[in-house]
Structure 1
Amino acid sequence: MSSDLEAPISRPSTSKKDKSSKKPRKSTAFIITDHGKNEGDDPHWAYQPPAGAVLLDHAVEPEEFDWDMVKDDDDTEIWLIRVPDSIKEKHLEGLEVDPPSSSRTARVGGLTRKNSTYDVWSIADDDTDVIGGEELRGVSCLLPRKKKKGKLCTAPKAIARHIIIAAQPPIPAVPEHQPIVHQNPPRPSYPKDVLKHHFTPYGARSGENATSLNVSMDVDHADSPAAKTAQADGKAKEPKGKKRKVEGETPKKSKKHKSGD
């Protein structure tokens, strides 16, 4: 046999996978805990405030706003006040208002700031159509509690009064020297002893005028062809009777028969 017919002998090539498999694997440490996966305490789970915000310090003494102090004091009420953005807390110092009532909406005071004037309104329990403030019904109050390390808790009392500070609506100013375009002349006034009252409702007439005004109206009706034929038939069938007496004609004298003696 010739050497051309001999098949080439293939040798197994070493791949990269075989080389990598020969490297020793690193051992992984497993931590076995009593709880399941993704459970337990993690030091990175603590709340972090967003940028520009500061975490509230609960170590501050709450003083008169403490939850227990508000609950134990029967003379303390919780008021909810809504103020505009232009009003600061210092502007409300020394503000005097009338004792508000929870049964009706009323204006209880006023506040003047530079070129603006504000009204202080007390909102009733079910009346918010005058000045608004219906969103205040769904607001609750949170107070810090010293026994729980300053954590905020729901207030032990309900909100007693809802106060709204609102700006007065602008009133258009009238020019002082505005010319009068038109003015009606003054109406004359008459003394009451000269005036006579006469009540005549619509459609009512007195007895004297009713007879004089009760006149039949002549209305022109367009006669239909059927009506005309009915009138013609009626005239044709009308029997000849006695002549009717016409006004203006003198009656004929009847002859009297002499009775025998």
Structure 2
Amino acid sequence: MIELTLIGIGTGNPDHITMQAARAMNAANLILIPRKGEAKSDLVDLRRDICAQVLAATVRIVEFDMPVRDAGGDYAQGVQAWHDAIAAVWREEIARHLPAGGKLALLVWGDPSLYDSTLRIAERLPGVKVSVVAGITSIQALTAAHAIPLNPLAGSVVITTGRRLRAHGWPPGADTVVVMLDGGCAFEALDPAGVSIWWGAYLGMEHQALESGPLARMAPLIAGRRARLRARHGWIMDVYLMRKEPSNG
């Protein structure tokens, strides 16, 4: 029997590790850490650092090369094929390092429930018992960094992606929109009138970056700063919240 625990580790700050997460890491026989290419080597280093700070027990740590998603063709089919490839790598590592069974842990950025596919990939492993340890999400880190509430009083919140925001615009009826996985500054496609934005990149990390203000003024500033940060670090992880001013009508 393989017991797989998906452990939310927050957004890169070891202080985000909960006591439950620390116990789960120390109870594991094996922790798998993905390598995502030289440009994202910081993410591997952060996971290594978390393990070094949290592990008191002797736990085997194995790194593996993350398959690369084919960006061409149909998006959904490409993602499904990518998930199949990741699951195949997991099976290989399990067979190699836990042939008699045991406890496997994967450290998941943020929380496994929020715009993360680890749970969907784990479904491809028949006979594996899966459990989840909740983690601090990028949304929580963003609202904490800006010291703002997620929702307006009695208001609604929609969580979406940059791809959907660019394709469909502001979600109907939403007072607040949180946008994740935006690789192209989709906020630039919106009518900025009456909209404020709170943006954050590398949340919880040493080089955390924050911006906020009226969207009309902040859109070009955020886009420029985002490009410079990505060029400097070779990668970027960011999220933003936008809120519309109440209508007087």
User: TM-score of the superposition, structure 1-length normalised?
Assistant: 0.22
- Which gives a bigger RCO, structure 1 or 2 (Cα 8 Å, sep 6+)? 2
From the two aligned structures, give the one with the greater helix fraction: 2
Rg bigger for which structure? Answer: 1
User: TM-score of the superposition, structure 2-length normalised?
Assistant: 0.23
From the two aligned structures, give the one with the greater strand fraction: 2
